[in-house]
């Protein structure tokens, strides 16, 4: 299905950044299918399936029953997704997203294989979060004499 959707979108000839769900044990296969069908980049990851229950009502609290979990708690899930997809598809640019809240998280995402990092839920707590993350990451790079993100990309893979 991923292959069909991406191939249809690729008809547009526009750059295609394909956002994938982490809610599958076959993420790497899905990512491979997206790239083979014409994805120019991967955006990893969307929210993680979750559920909350209102214990007084004894019912799921969300209208849709389940929902998407985002924020700091999903950072390790997102990091692993980026790591595994970069290992399988080292030439494909990856945007790392999921729970990134500070500069260290952004640096870890790049070390896992991301070329860029996105900040989502952290902006609800602090609208300046993306700027703070970028500044902290830049300071980390300065302290370690790293001049470009590309130098660090995939560094955790040895």
Binding site for ligand FMN (CB under 6 A): 19, 46-47, 70-71, 74, 97-100, 119-121
Written in H, E and C, the secondary structure of 16-59 is CEEEECCCCCCHHHHHHHHHHCCCCEEEECCCEEEECEECCCCE
* Minimum separation from the CB atom of position 147 to ligand FMN (A): 27
Residue closer to ligand FMN (CB basis): 123 or 142: 123
Which of residues 64 and 148 has its CB atom nearest to ligand FMN in the complex? Answer: 64
Considering the complex, what minimum distance in angstroms separates the CB of residue 78 from ligand FMN?
Answer: 7
Residues 110 and 129: beta-carbon distance below 8 Å: no
Q: How far is the CB of 79 from ligand FMN (least distance, A)?
A: 12
Q: Nearest residue to ligand FMN, using CB?
A: 120
Of 101, 104, 84, the residue nearest 154 (C-alpha): 84
Q: How far apart are CA 22 and CA 28, in angstroms?
A: 10
Nearer to ligand FMN by C-beta: 70 or 92? Answer: 70
**C-beta of 63 vs 158, nearer to ligand FMN:** 63
Task: HSE, CB side, 13 Å, CA atoms: give it for residue 6.
Answer: 22
Residue 121 Cβ, how far from ligand FMN at the closest point, in Å? Answer: 3
Q: How far is the CB of 1 from ligand FMN (least distance, A)?
A: 17
Structure tokens at 60: 């799921």
The pair of structure tokens assigned to 56 is 């007084």
- Of 99 and 154, the one with the shorter C-beta distance to ligand FMN is 99
């Amino acid at each position: 299905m991923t292959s069909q959707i991406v191939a249809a979108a690729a008809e547009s000839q526009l750059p295609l950044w394909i956002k994938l769900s982490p809610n599958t044990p076959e993420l790497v296969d899905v990512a491979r299918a997206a790239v083979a069908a014409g994805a120019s980049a991967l955006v990893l990851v969307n929210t993680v399936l979750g559920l909350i229950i209102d214990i007084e009502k004894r019912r799921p609290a969300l209208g849709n029953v389940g929902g998407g979990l985002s924020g700091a708690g999903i950072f390790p899930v997102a990091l692993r997704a980026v790591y595994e997809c970069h290992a399988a598809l080292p030439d494909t640019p990856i945007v790392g997203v999921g729970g990134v809240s500070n500069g260290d998280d952004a640096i870890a995402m790049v070390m896992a294989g991301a070329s860029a990092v996105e900040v989502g839920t952290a902006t609800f707590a602090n609208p300046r979060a993306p700027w703070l993350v970028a500044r902290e990451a830049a300071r980390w790079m300065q302290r370690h004499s790293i001049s470009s993100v590309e130098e660090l990309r995939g560094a955790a893979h040895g």
